[in-house]
Amino acid sequence: MVFVILIYMENKLINKTNYMEQTKSSRPLLSTGAAIALGLSAIIVTVIIVGGVIVLRGVDIIETLETLDINVTGDVDDEQGEMQVNAGFNQELIVENFNWELVPLQDVVATVQSFTGGVVQGSEGAVFVEAIDLTGDGISEGIFSLPGFNDNVVAVMRKVGNGYTLARMVENPDHPSFALLHQLGGVQYSVGYGLLPEINGFYILNKSLDQSLSPPAFTCNSLTVFQWSDMEESFVMNSIHRDQYYAQECS
C-alpha cells in the first residue's frame, strides 16, 4: 500500500513538473522555496504512512504473543522507526509446567529434615511417587516416599515462588505440623493414607489387628480427613467428609 502511494505521489510530481514546463512562458517559475516545501511535504507524508504501518504491525505482533500467554511491553523507537518488544512468559505458565521428577531427591530430603529433624534417614531409598494437585490451584504438588526409621514417610511438597517447601498440616490449632503421611504395615498395627484431589486433601487411616474376629482381621481405629485451606495455607482437619471416606475404607 505504501509503494502504491509513493508511486501515485511521484506521478503527481511528474505531472506537475510537465505542466510547469508547458506553461512557463505564461506563468512565473515555481520558486525554489516552494519546491523545497513541496518535496518536504511529500517526505513527511511518506514517513507518517510508513510509521503507521510499523505501529500496526507491532500491534499484530503483540496480540499474537499474548495469545501464547506471553507478557509483552514495547513502544516505537522514534529514531529507528522500529517496534521494540520485550517478551516474557507468564510466571503462572512456568509454575504449572514445573516437573517434580527433575527435583533431586537429596534436596527433597534436606528440605524435609530442615523442618522435621530426624524423621527421615536420608536420600537412599527415596523415590518420587506422583505429581497431583491437592490444593485446587491448578499447580501440582509433589508426592515423595522417603525412608523413615520405622516406616516410610510420604512428604507432600508444594511449589512456592521459584522454589518448593514441605506443605503444612493442622490437626491441633495449637500445634501445627507438616504434611508427612506415614506408611507402616506391621503384624498388629498399620498406618496408611489416601490422596483426595476431589476435595483438595487427603486422609490418614490407622488400623489394628482385632483378635476377637474369626479369623483375626485389621479394623479401623481412626480415619482423619484433611482439606486444603487458602486462609490457613495448610491442610486442615475436616470432619465433614470423614463419614464418607470412613464408610468407603472401613466397611
Mean pLDDT (10-residue bins), the chain, 251 residues: 44 50 45 48 45 44 47 50 43 61 95 89 92 96 92 94 94 86 87 96 95 90 96 94 92 76
| Residue 227: Cβ-neighbour burial (10 angstroms; 0-12, 13-18, 19+) | buried
The pLDDT value recorded for residue 185 is 82
152 in Cβ contact with 124 (< 8 Å):
no
Q: What are phi and psi of 192, to 5 degrees?
A: -145, -175
Instruction: Give the model's pLDDT for residue 61.
Output: 44
Q: C-alpha distances in angstroms, 169 versus 92, 121, 133?
A: 25, 21, 16
The CA-atom distances, in angstroms, between 79 and each of 51, 83, 227 are: 11, 11, 58
Closest CA to 226 of 205, 211, 212, 209: 205
